[in-house]
Structure 1
Amino acid sequence: MNKNIKYIAFLIVGLVVLNIANQSFYKRFDLTADQRYTLSETTNNIISNVDRNLFITVYLEGEFPSEFKRLQVETRQYLEELASENSLIQINFENPDDQREALIKKRMMPSQLTVEEDGKLSEAIIFPWAALSYGKKTTIVSLLPNAIMASQEAQLTKAIENLEYSFSNAINSISRNNEKKIGIITGNGELEDIYQYSFLSEVAKKYRLAKFTLDSVAINPQQTLQDLTGLDLAIIAKPTQKFSENEKFVLDQFIANGGKTLWMIDNVQADQDSLFNGGKMLAYPRDLNLTDLFFSYGIRVNTTLIKDLYASKIPLATGASGNQPQFQNLDWYFHPLVGGNPNNPITKNISPVRLQFANQIDTLKNNIKKTPLLVSSVLTQKVGTPTFIELQSIAEEVVETDYKDGNQLFAVLLEGNFNSAYKNRIKPFKTPLYKENATNNKMVFIADGDVGKNQILKGQPFDLARDKWTNEQFGNKDFLLNTVDYLLDDAGLMNLRNKSLNIRMLDKQKAFKERTFWQFLNVALPLILLFGFGIIFNYLRKKRYSK
């Protein structure tokens, strides 16, 4: 009896110890081949800075297509991994059906999906969004990529791959105390605010944004340079007037002092509005006095225009019905539709980008790392300038052999140690901020000033991601936003966009053809086996005890 009591006491003590150990030590094991639930060092650093309650509400609850339940499961498992690392992260899944209008007002637009069940197609609406709240700050996260995918399965795969980047980026944005500062450079005929609204209004949601004029260089260049070095990034969008030596030196020393730059440059004077107004225009080189500056960084923006057979469309009047003109959307080869580098986080999984009267970039040999971002198709033709461009040329028959100039570079990322363009030259003015080179800096050159220019509809800026006439969708906004994020990314967040997973999807056609077999295997066969086991067991039991 005493021995039994002793065993029971040991058992109780053991259970108590195991329970305490279970409460004190918690570990999740990621047994997936691609380690999809293992958080990166970047993500761990970001969530370690969350020092008060972070509420994450995901609108993936309720009835929706079965394949998108996979997105729900993957999202839940990923967020649970975040919560296991930081108990201040609280997760909630909600059904959006009874709050659709409220979600739309918060810019959470629904997605319409084509669902295939039993060989029949139907439509379904889901809200693939998450809302984050941290103190007084809020933000939203899209759980489905905007890029054009070959299938819903591909879209779902990209969505799952993008989970870590999407949430880590949002958490980093909402929890950091110091916002990065961006200056929109003016004073040399850059794009007006209304034409940059679609792009810059999105930038302003994450960063501090302000206009910075170089006009003050003429009065006090030293003070202008000092003010400019207080910024983290300078955006130069389609300047049309020549830069003075003082202005160039200010930009050069901004870069030498660690400032990041995004250049959107037109080296040829050619505008679509001018062409539509007169039907004909003269395209000619534009002298911005920046060639030597760019040369020192290892690139040259040429004064040739590129025609590409893979192009976007423009609307043209091709006839009339009564008194009403009839319009048709036709390919306009001076507006290349270019793909992004699939191996770079800036351009991975974005839709094709529309350029307008774009120039070609040459890269020069130096110690700077150069990564192509936007490249044309192989079916291109170089057009020297000056030259006349006529709208009626759109009707000319295409001779494919004329388009044999191959891939052309339109946008490039430069990273490394940049030498000052004034390293071995007389300086335009003296400044204590002068440096001969920048260490580990980066900049992006785009040989099209209109890449970030949105259209105007009824006096209001139109979405940069769409064309108001043809309703075509483009990746311009995503490309530029990713570029800004990359240039200002000190945490390594953008590298998470390159994450690739091996998501095994169900073959719907095979499943439909073999559904009877699999239904039998999963439903009928277990019942038959159970019934057979019961009969055999009962027979053996009767035989044993009937003796």
Structure 2
Amino acid sequence: MIKKKHLILLALFGLTQFLIHQISYRWDFTKDQKYSISTPTQQLLKNLNKDIYINVYLTGDLPFDFERLSKETNYFLKEITSKNQHIHYRFIDPKNNQEKLIKQGLTPSRLTVQEDGKVSESIIFPWAIVKCGKNTTAVNLLKNSSFNNENTQIENSIQNLEFAFASGIQKVTAHKKQKIAILKGNGELEDIYQYDFLKTLGENYFLAPFTLDSVTKQPQKTLKQLQDFDLLIISKPTEAFTEAEKFTLDQFTTNGGKSLWMLDMVHTPKDSLMQNGKVLAYQRDLNLTDYLFNYGIRIQKHLVRDLYAAKIPLAVGNVGNKTQFDEFLWDYYPVIKTNNKHVINKNIGDVKLEFTNSIDTLNTNIHKTILLQSSTFSKTTAVPNYVELASIAQSSDVTSFNSGSKILGILLEGHFSSAYKNRIKPYKNNFISNGHQGKMVVIADGDISTNHISKGKPLELGLDKWNNMYYANKEFLINTIHYLLNDSGLIQLRAKQITLDTINQPKALQEKTKWQLINTLIPLVMVAVFGVLIFYYRKSKY
């Protein structure tokens, strides 16, 4: 017969088991809080009341480094599902669905893997699909940028997991609120040349083209319409701004409007250069010098050249009927290793610029933060001047690249005063002389947002179609937009830094046999020793 105290113990045991299954709490003892969810993500998960379905295709027979990325993805998804039961995820082997995934826009990665002295080729899909109702978005788990090696790429990809999934969840659940105006009418870039940039922005913000043409007839109405937007993007204008247009932009800024300027002050037609091998670079007058000078910066009208540069393909001869190409460093295309101290640049790769100018800063009350700058091995070329592809074949005088770093992109923050404070106004309005708190980013390169075109279709921003190199132009610009629009939730996730413990693979391969023997023999020896000790103990006792 079961005693009463036994029944009580059974009841307590059952209650304990029930509570353990109902209450889940995890402690993160890692130094960098690797397995902890950041505050912005916690807030996102807290407000989530819709079912989210996540399919991850990074699974199957993976190389070692990608197996680590897959496991880290699993750890992170387990963590967020423990925070919110509306999130459901599963790993799906893409082996039998490759064509379908490619049609959905999930580009596979083809890798040559060397393990245990054997070389093999692997095709992996480092992607996840996030779905909520009818809304879906693809999450790239592998950061595509020009990293030095695969380990660095994997480490940055793991650091980016929280941002990638939080951004994906926000895209399929959030309602667009903030509005961005894309300036037209002054010879700006056509949409097809910045298609990928605008398409990515459109996933989080309302976009609309805006022209200043009507400022001549209805200036007050034009200004009022512009002030309905939160941010203005100006991409590579080629026609000068009138005083009325500048005054409209000035009042937009002093009223607290944010802006992103991507400017070329030197005209260097790349198409003519590639066709003829030589082109005349000359100054472009946009009539913006006094406007920018008021905010404490001046864009110099010269070209910056940097020994840390991207490569371009050039024909070097013919074999039969086929033209042979080779790649050469082109110092007019600086590759910028971004300053990781600012949250905009956190955990991103290199940014590629083309025929960029430099920026000088002036002492004003506006706070300035350098975002992009050339290496110390830089120099400038005055214009007008000829730019020739033939100069690549000539031995460069390395000692001439000694002008030091040049500022190529800068963030301005503070109370913007009007550039027309003590000047005649082009038209009457409710003039604001001392402005509200505002933000502005100026980049001395109009091509930073330009994507390549292949077979009439735009490619992903940052992908160089000539050598398949990825640069972080899109990440940099998207981070910039998030920061300018105070989208602190997403941008703060960039600051999370994770230190990964990596294995020295050559050493591991060299010492493979030794550690196999140690892991096999030591447990057997320990079992044998304990067996002998127990045998003699029992013999002496009995």
Task: Give, in angstroms, the shift of residue 543 of structure 1.
Answer: 5.6
Unaligned runs of 5+ in 1: none
Q: Is the 8 A contact 1:241 1:288 kept in 2?
A: yes
Q: Deviations over 1:253-297 (max 9, x none)?
A: 222233221111111222222334554443322221211221222
2:491 matched residue in structure 1: 494
Looking at structure 1, the residues matched to 460 and 90 of structure 2 have their Cα atoms a distance apart, in angstroms, of 32
> Which of these residues, 182, 185, 188, is aligned with residue 187 of structure 1?
185
Letter in 2 for 1:534: G
Partner of residue 46, structure 1: 44
Q: CA deviation at 1:302?
A: 1.0
Which of 333, 336, 340 is the aligned partner of 2:334?
336
Calculate the TM-score normalised by the size of structure 1: 0.91
Identify which of 207, 210, 222 aligns with 1:209: 207
**Alignment partner, residue 443 of structure 2:** 446
RMSD (Å) for aligned C-alpha atoms: 2.6
- CA shift for structure 1 position 24: 5.0
Moved more, 389-398 or 288-297: 389-398
Per-residue CA deviations over 1:460-500 (Å, capped at 9, x if unaligned) read 43444233445444333333233233323423322322321
> Which residue of structure 2 lines up, in the alignment, with residue 511 of structure 1?
508
Of 384-393 and 516-525, the range deviating more from structure 2: 384-393
> TM-score if structure 2 supplies the norm length?
0.92
Task: Quote the Cα distance in structure 2 between the aligned partners of 1:323 and 1:519.
Answer: 55
Q: Deviations over 1:328-362 (max 9, x none)?
A: 44333323233222333433444433322211101
Aligned to 1:482: 479
Match in the other structure for 1:176: 174
When residues 485 and 62 of structure 1 are mapped into structure 2, their CA distance, relative to the original with a 3 A threshold, is same
1:37 correspondence with 2:35: yes
Q: For the structure 1 residues 152 and 332, does the alpha-carbon distance in structure 2 shift closer, same or farther, using more than 3 Å as the test?
A: closer
**Other structure's SS at 2:31 match:** coil
Kept after mapping to 2: 8 A contact 1:198/1:454: yes
Aligned residue identity for 1:86: N
Aligned to 1:224: 222
CA contact (8 A) 1:228 1:254 kept: yes
Residue 198 of structure 2 aligns with which residue?
200
Aligned ranges for residues 95-110 of structure 1 at < 5 Å? 95-110=93-108
CA shift at 1:188, angstroms? 0.9
Q: Hey, what's the Cα distance between the residues in 1 that align with 2:534 and 2:233?
A: 80
* Contact 2:32/2:498 (8 A) holds in 1: yes
Letter of the 1:337 counterpart: V
Contact 1:49 1:175 in 2 (8 A): no
Identity of aligned residues (%): 46
Structure 1 residues 277 and 32, CA, compared in 2 at 3 Å: closer, same or farther? closer
The one-letter code matched in structure 1 to 2:52 is: L
Q: 1:433 to 1:76 in 2, by over 3 A?
A: farther
Contact persistence 2:420–2:433 (CA under 8 A):
no
Number of residue pairs matched?
542
Secondary structure at the residue paired with 2:34?
coil
Q: CA deviation at 1:20?
A: 5.0
Residue of structure 1 equivalent to 2:138: 140
How many angstroms does 1:391 deviate by?
4.2
- Give secondary structure in 2 for the equivalent of 1:346: helix
More moved, 464-473 vs 255-264: 464-473
Q: Contact 1:339 / 1:352 at 8 angstroms: preserved in 2?
A: yes
1:229-248 to structure 2, matched below 5 A, reads 229-248=227-246
Equivalent pair of 2:240/2:285 in contact (CA under 8 Å)? yes
Q: Distance in 2 between matches of 1:432 and 1:450?
A: 36
Deviations 1:373-426 (A, max 9, x none): 221122222222233434444443312222221111111122233223233444
Alpha-carbon distance in structure 1 between the residues aligned to 2:373 and 2:325:
30
CA contact (8 A) 1:275 1:391 kept: yes
Which secondary structure does the structure 1 equivalent of 2:488 belong to?
Answer: coil
**Distance (whole Å) between structure 2 residues aligned to residue 171 and residue 433 of structure 1:** 42
Pairwise CA distance, 1:322: 7.0
Conserved in 2, the CA contact under 8 Å of 1:47 and 1:171? no
Deviation, structure 1 residue 517:
3.0
User: What is the match of residue 371 of structure 1?
Assistant: 369
| 3-state SS in 2 of match to 1:68 | helix
Contact 1:257-1:435 at 8 Å conserved across structures: no
Q: Quote the offset at 1:30 in angstroms.
A: 1.0
Counterparts of 1:298 and 1:149 in 2: how far apart (Å)? 34
User: Is 1:290 aligned to residue 283 of structure 2?
Assistant: no
Report if aligned partners of 2:230, 2:485 keep a CA contact under 8 Å in 1. yes
Match runs of 1:266-285 below 5 Å: 266-285=264-283
Given the alignment, which residue of 458, 462, 468 partners 1:461? 458
Q: Which of 357, 360, 379 is residue 358 of structure 2 equivalent to?
A: 360
Corresponding letter in the other structure for 2:510: K
- The match for 1:254 is 252
Give the Å deviation of 1:37.
1.5
Q: Which amino acid aligns with 2:154?
A: L
- Most deviating of 455-464 and 102-111: 455-464
Q: CA deviation at 1:35?
A: 1.0
- CA distance change for structure 1 residues 492 and 362 in 2, over 3 Å: closer, same or farther? farther
Which of 8, 11, 26 does residue 9 from structure 2 map onto?
11
How far apart, CA to CA, are the structure 2 residues paired with 1:257 and 1:367?
A: 17
Q: 1:148 to 1:357 in 2, by over 3 A?
A: closer
Point out where structure 2 has 5 or more consecutive residues left out of the alignment. Answer: none
Return the alpha-carbon distance in structure 2 between the equivalents of residues 276 and 148 of structure 1: 24
- Indicate conservation of the 8 Å contact 1:141/1:167, yes or no: yes
Q: Which residue number corresponds to residue 423 of structure 1?
A: 421
